[in-house]
Structure 1
Amino acid sequence: MNHLGIEVSVKHSPELDPGFLPLGKFFQAFLKDAKKPLGIAVERAGGEVAVYNTFIHGTPEMAQADRYYVDRLIKTMLWYMGGFKVYICGDEDIFAAMKATYCVGGQRSFDAEFMSNVYEKPFEVVSCDALPAEYSNPQAVGRHLGGCRIGFDAGGSDRKVSAVIDGEPVFSEEVVWHPKTTSDPDYHYDGIVAALKSAAEHMPRVDAVGVSSAGIYIENRTMVASLFLKVPKEDFDAKVKDIYIRAITDTFGDVPYVVANDGDVSALAGAMSLEENNIMGIAMGTSEAVGYVDQNGNITGWLNELAFAPVDANPAAMEDEWSGDIGCGVKYFSQDGVIKLAPAAGINLSPDLSPAEKLKEVQKIMESPNSPAEAIYRSIGVYLGHSLALYHHFYGFKHVLLLGRVMSGKGGDIILDTCKQVLADEYPELSGKIIPTLPDEKARRVGQSVAAASLPELKK
């Protein structure tokens, strides 16, 4: 495949999406003849900095390819690691192009404004003669099992809560709720409090509360979360940023608590069940939720919002409605990915169905022998094999735990088998370095809400 004058060799293409151009393969091909050094750094909260040293061509005929490469690289770093300030060292033309791209009114204004909201600082792209030093501050989190704990897991369609005594769940409850379509923040608050009280009734006392929730949380505060999509900004700032803190302290007073991203808690649950570290959890459901526990068992402070990070360099890739960008993970590793591929498999889904109902319909079709739906799952498996190689380049994980509704049933097995085949054939250098797995019974027993319960450390 040729893109922007770069010839990319791909052995495995998804049968239902032959135009898919793995971004990692494009990066590799681009770098073959790129010789001009370029440095990029991204600064996030607490003075933490991620640094990436690379190369561009720096010639007029390759200027468009250079700009595309650096744009995709900055976008990747922002959504993997997070940041409000991008430093560029080594090429003034690239700096000027990226400054005009990542700003209000620029092509990546969504990204600039989003990161500005997350970190509560103006977003900027700056030129420098030398990059700031790499700095990170990973935090040990979870695996605290002693005492009487509550684990709360806030999902988009249901909320789960567990009462856990010395690591053993003594009560679990799942309640359907509709946070994404409700604009009144008191609805969310009342639902959280009701769940906490329900779990508390099954223990002699409450020593600590851990929360797993979709979204971005900094110091236990909700910075951005799709659960509160409909809440107006003034109500969000007044009532949602500290919603979990208020719900816990109003209900139980001064007990230890931790609020963490649900992807990180998935990775923690996987680490606890596998008794391993250096693990990425990828939950394919409403969106692509990702978390990572490093080789020391710590949470890194990275955003891990891979739903909005690019995986496909095909210029005709599908657009994500929210960010306005194309080729991002949400359209490949979620129910959206299944729905996107269904027509190519000859499966027509009623427009009257919700996305979750469309996924269920495909899963039902999947149950028949030689189902046309199998091609959907094989195609997602190809996407995943290529994308795990790209993710690994930045994270260096060993284990990948694949979770979520898309991975359930026979379809999940097909995705896993195809993914392993792509990794073996296309990326032999990663043999034994990436181990994708589905959760076993023990992982299901540990579960998200039990892992969430283990987040806070008890007071000495």
Structure 2
Amino acid sequence: MDIEVKIKPELDPGFVPAALWNRAYQKRADASGQAEAVALALVRPDGTCSVFHTRILPPSAGHEAETLRYLERILKFLLWQRGGCTVLVAGCDPMANQLAAIYAAGGQRAFDYAFFGEKTYLQPLEIKSCPFEEIPAANETAMALGRHLDGCRIGFDLGGSDRKCAAVIDGEVVFTEEVEWNPYFESDPTYHIEGINDSLQRAASYLPRVDAIGGSSAGVYVNNEVRVASLFRGVSPADFERKVRRIFFDLKERWGNIPFEVVNDGEVTALAGSMSMNENAVLGLAMGTSEAVGYVTPEGNITPMLNELAFAPVDYREDAPADEWSGDVGCGVQYFSQQAVARLAEGAGFGFPDGMPFPEQLVKVQAAMADGDARAAAIYSTIGTYLGYTIAHYADFYEIRKLLLLGRVMSGEGGAIIINKANEVLAAEFPELGGQIEITTPSEKDKRHGQAVAAASLPLIGEES
């Protein structure tokens, strides 16, 4: 594709922004005068459905490779943003068959096939062509979850390097604590459940009683049930089924079956921002161990969409950095996380020892930034450039008024560089979005307590619960 990147990432000039690539493809399709309509419907077992409409070059144009790449990358994004286990494709039967082969047990996207099939929706992922008249109407649901501040509540957040917990009385935080842990490769599920319960007990000691517990955690959760979560990647499949899948039901029982709600950490991030800013259409993006994303709709609700954009593509070059879990290239986790900092550090001139954990590398880069080290500034400038182009990509799939940035990568002076560079990209490449989307970070109070308060506000207390 003929793409001009006006502002190249300082340490990664080969970056091919998804937003520019898709716009170039659409421009070529329109210029052909023969663009063909395509619809992708993602259907979930509960009957809800998301539909995405686009247009492609006609097969006669001789650009089948570009068209397949365009549709495959769009489908990949939609799967990780919206979720679904049945994909109906109208308008391009041959491409539908190729997509089905790619997203198959032995295909290039075998990881995604397993994730969206039996792991998340408990049935095989299926991609098939159909006539336009068989594309179902969009049927999305939204949940007015959260914003309940009455009573004595506990809020917790489970991350890859720490677990946070807070005690809240009528919306006021009376206790908060952060405990380091290392859940990723721990094979004993007892480590996880007892660790979480320990944090709950510590918070409960600061309350006269516990009326409700709300939590956020990285991963996919359906009605409090763990479907897929990297926090438990070290647990065997058998132990996952026996001990992890219903871990929060077991904890609820330990706590007397009081109201207990757990959702994806990205959703709580967005909810916390929406609550603190009194604003909706908020996309929350946390750059920490991974990239966590959540969304609050213009109506102020949370949706059942996955919003797992760590695995959604943002860079379309063929040799983009690969994600170590899914194996795919160019996905968000390698651009907006501690992994991104570690990946860029070598090119910036930092000589960290082999095997140094990513959080420790981030601490070293942050210290260098505080000392005015130009190498560290280059890392943050590069991430900010990634972000500016990726905001435009995300805006093709979300209505965004506020972009809330947080996470350890955003801490310190480097966070300001990231925001300034992202705004520079928006002004230069996407001026219509620069005036529409405000990039912001939480206040110091919200950084300390916002996530915990939002998580604690999830359950509804009383008869309606």
Same fold, TM exceeding 0.5?
yes
1:103-142 per-position Cα deviation (integer Å, ceiling 9, x unaligned): 1101111111111111111110011102111110100111
Judge conservation of contact 1:112–1:123 (CA < 8 Å) in 2: yes
SS of 1:320's equivalent in the other structure is: coil
CA distance in 1, matches of 2:386, 2:378: 12
SS of 1:134's equivalent in the other structure is: coil
Find the partner of 1:17 among 3, 9, 12: 12
Find the partner of 2:231 among 218, 227, 231: 227
1:158-182 per-position Cα deviation (integer Å, ceiling 9, x unaligned): 2221111101111222222221121
Q: CA shift at 1:31, angstroms?
A: 0.8
Matching residue of 1:79? 80
Q: Which moved more, 1:312-321 or 1:300-309?
A: 312-321
Distance 1:370 1:227, change over 3 A: closer
CA distance in 2, matches of 1:15, 1:175: 36
Q: CA shift at 1:152, angstroms?
A: 1.5
Matching residue of 1:42? 42
Structure 2: gaps (5+ residues)? 30-34
Q: Which amino acid aligns with 2:52?
A: Y
CA distance in 1, matches of 2:207, 2:275: 23
CA distance in 2, matches of 1:83, 1:185: 28
Matching residue of 1:32? 27
Within 5 Å, give how 1:261-340 maps onto structure 2. Answer: 261-340=264-343
Q: Which amino acid aligns with 1:125?
A: I
Q: CA shift at 1:442, angstroms?
A: 3.9
Is 1:183 equivalent to 2:187 in the alignment? Answer: yes
CA distance in 2, matches of 1:193, 1:443: 24
Q: Which amino acid aligns with 2:57?
A: H
Within 5 Å, give how 1:53-452 maps onto structure 2. Answer: 53-59=53-59, 61-116=62-117, 117-130=119-132, 131-250=135-254, 252-452=255-455
Judge conservation of contact 2:272–2:451 (CA < 8 Å) in 1: yes
CA distance in 1, matches of 2:153, 2:289: 28
Judge conservation of contact 1:272–1:446 (CA < 8 Å) in 2: no
Matching residue of 2:32? none
Q: Which amino acid aligns with 1:293?
A: V
Q: Post-superposition, which runs of at least 4 consecutive aligned residues in structure 1 deviate over 4 A?
A: none
CA distance in 2, matches of 1:444, 1:108: 37
SS of 2:329's equivalent in the other structure is: coil
SS of 2:203's equivalent in the other structure is: helix
Q: CA shift at 1:362, angstroms?
A: 1.4
1:234-277 per-position Cα deviation (integer Å, ceiling 9, x unaligned): 11011111111211221x21211111111111111111111111
Judge conservation of contact 2:176–2:449 (CA < 8 Å) in 1: no
1:70-118 per-position Cα deviation (integer Å, ceiling 9, x unaligned): 0001001001111111111111211111111111101111111111111
Q: Which moved more, 1:345-354 or 1:142-151?
A: 345-354
CA distance in 2, matches of 1:178, 1:123: 32
SS of 2:146's equivalent in the other structure is: coil
1:317-361 per-position Cα deviation (integer Å, ceiling 9, x unaligned): 111121111100000000111111122212222113111111111
SS of 1:132's equivalent in the other structure is: coil
Judge conservation of contact 2:76–2:313 (CA < 8 Å) in 1: yes
CA distance in 2, matches of 1:200, 1:372: 45
Judge conservation of contact 1:193–1:248 (CA < 8 Å) in 2: no
Q: Which moved more, 1:51-60 or 1:264-273?
A: 51-60
CA distance in 2, matches of 1:10, 1:169: 46
1:397-444 per-position Cα deviation (integer Å, ceiling 9, x unaligned): 110110111110011110000001101110012132111111113422
SS of 1:373's equivalent in the other structure is: helix
CA distance in 2, matches of 1:27, 1:393: 10
With normalisation by structure 2, the TM-score equals: 0.95
Alpha-carbon RMSD across the aligned residues, in angstroms, is 1.2
Q: Which amino acid aligns with 1:142?
A: G
CA distance in 2, matches of 1:125, 1:352: 40
Q: Which amino acid aligns with 1:40?
A: L
SS of 2:267's equivalent in the other structure is: helix
SS of 2:405's equivalent in the other structure is: strand
Q: Which amino acid aligns with 1:94?
A: M
Q: Which amino acid aligns with 1:9?
A: E
Judge conservation of contact 1:273–1:446 (CA < 8 Å) in 2: no
Judge conservation of contact 2:161–2:289 (CA < 8 Å) in 1: no
Judge conservation of contact 1:273–1:442 (CA < 8 Å) in 2: no
Aligned length: 454
CA distance in 2, matches of 1:307, 1:445: 24
Q: CA shift at 1:33, angstroms?
A: 2.6
Matching residue of 1:3? none
Judge conservation of contact 2:401–2:438 (CA < 8 Å) in 1: yes
